[in-house]
Structure 1
Amino acid sequence: MAKKDSKIVPLLPLRGLLVYPSMVLHLDVGRDKSVQALEKAMMEDHNIFLSTQKEISIDEPSIEDIYSIGTLTKIKQMLKLPNGTIRVLVEGLERGEIQSFIDDEDNYAVEITTFKERTDKDVEEEALMRTMLEYFEQYIKLSKKISAETYATVSDIDEPGRMADIISSHLPLKLKEKQEILETIDVKERVNRVIAIIHNEKEVLQLEKKIGQRVKRSMERTQKEYYLREQMKAIQKELGDKEGKSGEVATLGEKIEKSGMTDHVKTIALKELERYEKVPTSSAESGVIRNYIEWLISLPWTQSTEDRLDINIAEEILDEDHYGLEKVKERVLEYLAVQQLTNSLKGPILCLAGPPGVGKTSLARSVAKALNRHFVRISLGGVRDESEIRGHRRTYVGAMPGRIIQGMKKAGTINPVFLLDEVDKLSSDYRGDPSSALLEVLDPEQNYNFSDHYIEETYDLSKVMFIATANNLSTIPGPLRDRMEIITIAGYTELEKLHIAKDHLLHKQMKDHGLKKSQLQLRDDSIQSIIRYYTREAGVRGLERQIATVCRKAARLIVKEQRKKIIITDKNIEDYLGKRQFRYGQAELEDQIGMATGLAYTTVGGDTLSIEVSLSPGKGKLILTGKLGDVMKESAQAAFSYIRSRAETLQIDENFHEKNDIHIHVPEGAVPKDGPSAGITMATALVSALTGRPVRKEVGMTGEITLRGRVLPIGGLKEKALSAHRAGLTKIIIPKDNEKDLDDIPASVRKDLTFVLVSHLDEVLKAALVGEKK
């Protein structure tokens, strides 16, 4: 290529378009500066430089927005259209490169250098031309979008560079690829590039043709299969053959009729069955529809068991399976009595709340047995997805109904005893709030038309007896708790544990370990020792584990030493269970100054809490240790403030807080402690430390204190009384307002304890402290 002298010509920026040399093209021009550039070119030598914009959206391009390589063209014709735009016919002359950009207010102009192409060609270029022409011919045959006249015109061209330009203009290339060809000044390189592009386009077209043929064959095969399937249906109908899909549809139709669905649900099921019949078996939707129909058929709509309404037999079964738990048994028998009178009572929604191991789950199973109902249990511990309760929409892959509907299918009747285990351990995240989804299930006024996302149609849960279990009521949301009837199971007394171990746990573990009654005997005193010295719990789960340990060791001795019978007493229990793990009766051995015993309620039952106070010379700093929660810290502050306000009455130095640092400590610092019932205990320990009067060793106390010294009521009195009894305390100070809760405490515990009812801290101090005021 030889560069010609530079020249200044008007510039016409193109949007989404490109012109090659030797190419004739119509353009519509509308931008003011572009129109001015055209008019200026017409007034001079009709030459104008065309260069493509890099971005189509720019209205007033600068030199950076335009490709530097373009085409010098000659304006052949110009026509003004009625809409104000100008249609112009241009012919490409030569490639050119912008050297500088002249932008005045009226039009664009550039200084360019043009490139003159050679007309002669060597042998290699001749061979490249022939290859390019041959490829282009093959491309035309595959594409069928380019006419034979175009090929004839291209084949008459004798210059390789020009031929490459014309072929490029007919290929479906992106503007950037066309610009790259325009910018390729060297003829051989340009021809090679065009050959590569045609070859690639040819392969793409061949692949498209193959895909098209494959799709056509597939469609023909599907049509053929449909025709054969219809023929097969007709033949099966004539032969009375019930095999194949038609037989399956007929079977499903019969099941729908016999299922006992409501008329509305039956209509939906039959409509889905009609869809199933029309959808090809090979279709994925076929399986989805069939699965839905089978779920509708498998659900119990009218099937129910007849309740055992004989109260005496029901009571006998409950007593046989469980010792104690009078409140729950009483509630179940009340339900039976009302059911016998009305025969139309909605299923109650009970929540058994209490520590682990007190028999909440097994009690629900006994209730089902007593009522002669089917029993189904689902565990809600850790469930955090709302669809676990309500099910998935059928649009999802692998959609399933929720656990409630799955449980009803498993039960097979509309009136089972349905256990929702660990309802307090539900959690929520971005997938929804399962506890809110349970509101509809556990509301007697709403659950007659429960809606599952998968089933979509309403389902009646009103005849189901729902029983929920929970360890900690405080973690159950208020609206959900409001829908349930709470029955608290506080824990077992020592006497109750003894009966449970003798009548239930021992027989069960001996059976599980292959032991006969004649081979192992656990005397009452040995069981009592296990309860006192090897377990500390509200329930009996740990007790059962210890009995299982005894059975295992006994089984080993019987097998290894061929013993005929093993008798276990409190004297030899340590040979089987090792050294004692707990000290029975935690009460102090003597009265202590600055130490009071409080009673606490935890999720695993009641417990005793020692609170210690020590004084040291200082400036009145109040130090609290023992991993206390905010409520207990506030109780300590309230007790401290009350004592300061009553220092004179209590005969304490009024300036004690200026001379001493007061340290309140609750032992077991690793265990978090919180709750509104330690106020009077802290106040008693403080007064004891400040006055030097000891606290009675046999006294435990519970109650919150106000700044005026009033004692406020507390919760969990039964659990706290049981823990005091276990610890060997004999006197318990409780708020007067809790007098109503004394009836809940078992008689065997109540006879061993003295309850002091107080309404003011002065009464607490009088009952708890030893000696007269100094």
Structure 2
Amino acid sequence: MPEAVVTLRLPVATLPEIVLPGTVITLGLTDPAVRRAIEASTSTGASRSDRRVVLRNDRSELAVIAHVPDVGALPSGEAVAIVRVDSRVHVGAIHESDRGASYADVTAIEDTRPTPRVEAMTRELRTVLGEIAEIRRSRRLPELLATAPAPGALADGVAAWADFDADAKLGVLEAVDVETRVGLIDEWARTHLAELRVQQTIRDDVTEDVDRQHREYLLRQQLAAIRKELGEGDGDLVDDYRTKLGALQEGEPALSESVYSAIAKEIDRLERTSAQGPEHGWIVNWLDRMFELPWGERSDDTVDLDAAQRVLDEDHAGLSDVKDRIVEYLAVRALASQRTVSPADADSVLDESAAETPAMPLSGRGRRGHGAIMTLVGPPGVGKTSLGESVARAMGRSFIRIALGGVRDEAEIRGHRRTYVGSRPGRIARALTEAGTMNPVILLDEVDKMGAGGWSGDPSAALLEVLDPAQNHTFRDHYLEVDLDLSDVVFIATANVL
């Protein structure tokens, strides 16, 4: 326990804030009570080193003894006193003098000799404070660590340096036990160090990102200047591609993240590639193919079954069974899309709807289609292809015909790898580009005339991914190497025999 020394009677001043030992403060003398206490401490004829005053706060029974080495005035004329706070005291009785000053009977409190545990805690505290001083680049804290060898004095000095709030200062003032006091400061120091490290990490990340962007900008400017001198200026081309990519991303609906990343990566490669290199042409061709695709473009198709029947009758005489089946097919698509039923239940939906069906949307934007496939089988010249055109006209969609007769190469469907000379996307991807929408009517003509080509693969097997509703929403062309959504495309196949 701390040891009590001697009881003194000294002038006392009550301050609104709490002061701690080891601090030097400038005390304004505008308060009459404070001025009288300072005058009482300096009017006894004692030397400057013996001028002492007690500074207390109403929130605590503990106070501090402060020396008053000097009294003067600020440039503004305000009277002030320089006080140096020394140690804690316990305040007893307070007496009023005839001259108006208040005197207090105080008992000085000295810190006890530190135990080995306190010394170990102090060493840990000094290590933590050293890291805090390094991160905050403080000049005062290293001085404090050097000039405050005693654990108690170090704790008081850190509390004053850290600008604690009133409650925290009160806790430190009343911690007369050195171990308790050092523990309070150590807890604060570790918490503060953790906060500083987090702030430092965030600041470093932000600085690194800003530096990286600045460095990348400078390098791009230098690269553009070098290419301009070499006559390899592709800056306008790259900027044009980036503008197109930004327009696609801002469109409705926006590009998927995978497609956007793939295009952005190739634009960056183009910027780094010399115009004389073979990859330059490959990248430009790929980017042109990608931007030619109608990303996000869809036909707003609404089918009127009576109008569809009239279109079929206008374009074809006879074929009543075929036309009736096509109208049923359109009705099933419309009802299935409207009621969001599975294709397996679509026939039952059709049977339940005997009333005349009004115009209704076939599919909504952003919703995966049902991928229904219709096959027209008959000898040549009976009107299979023209029936497909009539279906597209009745639905208000674009129409594309893909002739598959004699096709024996899988690459005709999936596209060629970009490493091959003259490579290009497959017929499905090119059909979307020609149609100008992502939901056209595609007629797969003469599917029964396809055949396996041996080493070149089986195109009919590749066509499975195109027509399978469970797979065609992520159809991947070998040339483009990005996912294409074919789930909203209406595929109509024709064949002479099955």
TM-score by length of 1: 0.30
> Which of these two proteins has the greater Rg computed from alpha carbons?
1
Larger RCO, structures 1/2 (Cα 8 Å, 6+ apart):
2
